[in-house]
Structure 1
Amino acid sequence: MDNHLDRQEVISALAGDEGFHIRKSKTLGEYYAYYAVKYGKEDKYIIRTSTNYSDKRDQLIYFATILTTFFIVLNCIIHFFYINYLKRDFENKIKKMKRYLEKGNTEKLLYYKKEEKWIFEFWEVLKEWQKRNLDNIEKLDYEKKLLKLIITSVDSFVGLIDQNGEFVLRNNSLNHLLILDNKKYTKAFKYIEIIAVIKKSIQEKKDIRQEIYINGIKEYFIISVKSIKKNNQFLITIKDITSIRRTVEIQKTFISNVGHELKTPLTNIKGYLIALEDAPKEIRKKFLDIVKNNVIKLENTIIDFLNISKIESSKILQIMPEEIYKIEKQVNDSVAIIKKEKNAEIEFHWDLLSINQGFINTDKEKLILILKNLVENGIIYNHSDNPKIDIFILEEKDKYKFKIKDNGIGIPEDKLKKVFERFYRVDKARTSNLGGTGLGLSIVKEVVDQFGGEIKVESKEQGGSIFKFYLMK
């Protein structure tokens, strides 16, 4: 049947052992399934058969439609489930991770199931990274606080300015040099002397360390400006050296006065000793008395210098109960010679709390030093035939109040403010003859200050003096 050689199933059978094809029959108008196979010796024949396939095709199309619809619906359900659960769950986990990173240890840790292997491993890596991050943040925070503590605790001004001349940071030391509301250094500093040094360093781009004197406040400072080239910033430090400069000046004055105070009696002693060699017998005693007085003056000067040096080097008080009769005895013994010479009288008036009768809590050695100097002054600077010194002691809950009253020559009213200065003497010619060094009252004030007390004087010329002070227990 040559007219069937073009059928697909025949072509397939000729090419192999059998062929199969499904197509719509042009004759019958329905779908048929055709099968062809070789037959006979040497494969000379082709057996071809067919069967109606329309019902089966319709069934397949029906089932294919159902399955397609099923999988479309299933895909929609899966997509809906992903959008509303899986994706949301994943987003929640990501949000929690984000909060953990933002809040650190304050956020509760998450623990994922090991079935979610990839996210569990990712979480473990994230936690390890966060731990290291928190350790670094904690370390940086500690170093930042330590640096801030150091900067704020130093008594020098420390400030950092940027390339625009504005403060990045600064401490609160030496605020009297600044207008705190301004950030730009040219407006923040009150004094042109400081601004000039900073401006010079910025313009010349070099480090500067310079001592300046601000005339407006009469104070000395050392200002240092260092360039931080990496950030184009400048570190400014300002240290107040006024006290150091004044201490140097005081030391110079002290040394000068020491030399002068020692030189005068030594010159007198030397001169009169030379004069004694050829002096007649009747005036030798006079010369010896002068030498003796100068030796006493020299001795008193050295004792005052030693006392003030000792007070400044040892400011520790040794407070303990002391018997008042021993204090009276030591004060009298310390001025015994001059007391006898001047026929002076010293009287103590104690008004102590009942529980402390007979004792006071004090540093006896330093209290004796105060009383000895005040009593001695009251006797020395006194023209009375019977110098009288009254010492009043009133005990209160936390301190002792003292009042030392004398009937001496007094102090002019315009001199009262200066009597506690070192080497100050009301009448230099007069006090020089009496053997004073001008250190006695400055020693008294220094010791009273160490006790946390305060001393005042009331006096008028030829009307005696009253020294009032208190010592903390």
Structure 2
Amino acid sequence: MDNHLDRQEVISALAGDEGFHIRKSKTLGEYYAYYAVKYGSEDKYIIRTSTNYSDKREQLIYFATILTTFFIVLNCIIHFFYINYLKRDFENKIKKMKRYLEKGNTEKLLYYKKEEKWLLEFWEVLKEWQKRNLDNIEKLDYDKKLLKMIITSVDAFIGLIDENGKFVLKNNSLNHLLIVDNKEYIKAFKYIEIISVIKKSLQEKKDIRQEIYINGIKEYFIKNIKKIKKNNQFLITIKDITNIRRTVEVQKTFISNVSHELKTPLTNIKGYLIALEDAPQEIRKKFLNIVENNVVKLENTIIDFLNISKIENSKILQIIPEEIYKIEKQVNDSVVIIKKEKNANIDFHWNLFPNNQGFINTDREKLILILKNLVENGIIYNHSSIPKIDIFVYEEKDRYKFCVKDNGIGIPEDKIKKVFERFYRVDKARTSNLGGTGLGLSIVKEVVEQFSGEIKIESKEQEGSIFKFYLMK
């Protein structure tokens, strides 16, 4: 029928071999299932059939409702199970992983079931990452401790400040330049000479290397400031070079004095040798005596210079038991000429432990050097008709105490502290004529200090001097 040509199943059958459609019948008001198929060799006919589908549809809806309800309930059960077991179990494992990362190898390893392969793989990756992380942390910790040891052990100040002038870190060297608790460099450093250099570097944002002299403490420093571009910080180093500067000054003074000490007798020798050519016979002996005295003075000067060089280059002590009579003999032999000229007396007074009679533990060569210089000074700077030198030696538990007493001209009280300086003479005009170089007592002091000892002087003018010192065994 023509009015059936617009039916969906007929349209589908005309387009192909067959058609199917389910719809509500307008005539009967119920759901029907329609089926249509071509018929005949020339496809002139369409056979169409239908059956009531309402019951089946209600059954399908019923089963769909049951299944939907079932799956909703099942989903609720699964969700409840996930919330109360799976999620909690997963969270516990994550917490254990977290503890492992926080505590490192001290946390026990986790056990996973075969069906948790993905979690096991993740855990293996996590452990490997943690191992590398712990190795890196250990290395960084070692490097940090090593750097801290280096910074704290150097004898220079090292500090790092940010662009606002606050200390990020600093060591404890040269604390006399700082108020330790202050974080800002302007308030931390005590001296404007240091502050001004840092301020200039921060303002101009450039490196500065400068030698500074702090007048308040009379000390020299080398100051380095370097800008760290990456984080806009400034590295400050301050090194005390006071001793270096003073050593340079001492060396200059020493060279100047050496030149003067050698030049004076050489000039005298040269002058008197020239004068001898035309001198009358009666005064030639006098000139020769003057030349001889200057030769002796030159020889003593060179010996003193060699002794100082030897002391400074060899500070190792060879302390062994030495016989006291050999020490007495060697001291007397070392000053035999001047002792004979001045008619001097040298007496030793030994106060040793009973079991050590005849021996002391010392470096004989250096002890002789000390005593020779003190005895020689006591004889040279002496107006007495019979210069007398008494040497007292007292043995104590871990050291020997020496007292060298003379009846010489003495030392003014205000000069006592200076007599150990190199080339220092109490009265340069007078002592120069007596042949002294001004090096004897400085040699004595340096050798005593090599023995870890200390030397002191008690003296009054025209009443003689007592040199007290001790030497460690």
TM normalised by structure 1 equals 0.86
Equivalence for 1:196: 196
Q: 1:271, CA displacement in angstroms?
A: 1.3
Rounded to whole Å, the distance in 2 between the matches of 1:120 and 1:235 is 49
Question: Pairwise mapping of residues 4-403 of structure 1 onto structure 2 (< 5 A)?
Answer: 75-403=75-403
- 1:106 is displaced (CA, Å) by 3.2
> Residues of 2 paired with 1:375 and 1:49: CA distance?
148
Q: CA deviation at 1:165?
A: 1.4
What SS does the corresponding residue of 1:297 show, helix, strand or coil? Answer: helix
Deviation of 1:74 (Å): 5.3
Q: 1:49 to 1:438 in 2, by over 3 A?
A: closer
Amino acid at match of 2:158: V
Q: From the superposition, tell whether residues 428 and 121 of structure 1 become closer, same or farther in structure 2 (CA, over 3 Å).
A: same
1:395-421, Cα deviation, whole Å (9 max, x unpaired): 111111111111111112221111111
AA partner of residue 267 (structure 1): T
Shift, 1:134, TM fit: 1.6
Q: Please state how far the C-alpha of 1:337 moved relative to its aligned partner.
A: 1.1
Query: How far apart are residue 77 of structure 1 and its match?
Result: 4.3
Q: How far apart are 1:249 and its partner, in Å?
A: 0.6
CA RMSD in angstroms, aligned pairs only: 3.8
User: By how many angstroms is 1:158 displaced?
Assistant: 1.3
1:287-308 CA distance string (max 9 Å, x none): 1111111111111011111111
What is the CA–CA distance in structure 2 between the aligned matches of 1:165 and 1:469, rounded to whole Å? 52
* Structure-2 change in CA distance of 1:89 and 1:355 (3 Å): farther
Q: Report the CA distance between 1:213 and its aligned residue.
A: 0.9
2 CA distance for matches of 1:200 and 1:158? 18
Question: What secondary structure does 1:420 align onto?
Answer: coil
Aligned length: 464
Aligned-partner Cα distance in 2 for 1:138–1:257: 59
Residues in 2 aligned to 1:352 and 1:131: alpha-carbon distance in whole angstroms? 69
Distance 1:81 1:326 in 2: 104
Q: Secondary structure at the match of 2:160?
A: strand
Amino acid paired to 1:355: N
Alignment partner of 1:405 is 2:395: no
Q: Secondary structure at the match of 2:374?
A: helix
| CA shift in 2, pair 1:61/1:331, >3 Å | same
Alignment partner, residue 431 of structure 2: 431
**Helix, strand or coil for the counterpart of 2:115?**
coil
Distance verdict in 2 for CA 1:426–1:76, change over 3 Å: same
Q: Against the structure 1 CA distance between its residues 71 and 159, is the aligned structure 2 distance closer, same or farther, given a 3 Å change threshold?
A: same
Report deviation, 1:105: 2.7
Deviation of 1:66 after TM superposition, in Å, equals 8.7
SS at match of 2:121: helix
Question: What is the CA deviation profile of residues 195-222 of structure 1, one whole-angstrom value per residue up to 9, with x for unaligned ones?
Answer: 2212222222221111111111111111
The structural deviation recorded for 1:110 is 2.5
1:43 equivalent in structure 2: none
Unaligned ranges ≥5, structure 2: 1-16, 25-32, 34-47
Give 1:423 shift: 0.8
2:68 & 2:165 partners in 1: Cα distance?
A: 76
Structure 1: which amino acid aligns with 2:460?
K
Corresponding position of 1:415: 415
1:228-280: CA deviations, max 9, x gaps? 12211111111111111111111111111111111111111111111111122
The structural deviation recorded for 1:84 is: 2.0
Q: What is the alpha-carbon distance in structure 1 between the residues aligned to residue 414 and residue 310 of structure 2?
A: 31
Name the CA distance, whole Å, in 2 between partners of 1:61 and 1:258: 125
Q: CA 1:343 to 1:76, structure 2 compared with 1: closer, same or farther past 3 Å? A: same
- Residues in 2 aligned to 1:248 and 1:189: alpha-carbon distance in whole angstroms: 28
Secondary structure at the aligned position of 2:223 is classed as strand
Where does residue 462 of structure 1 map in the other structure?
Answer: 462
Name the SS for the 2:238 alignment partner: strand
Q: CA, structure 1 residues 120+327, in 2 after alignment: closer, same or farther (shift >3 Å)?
A: same
Change (3 A) 1:161 1:345: same
AA in 1 matched with 2:296:
I
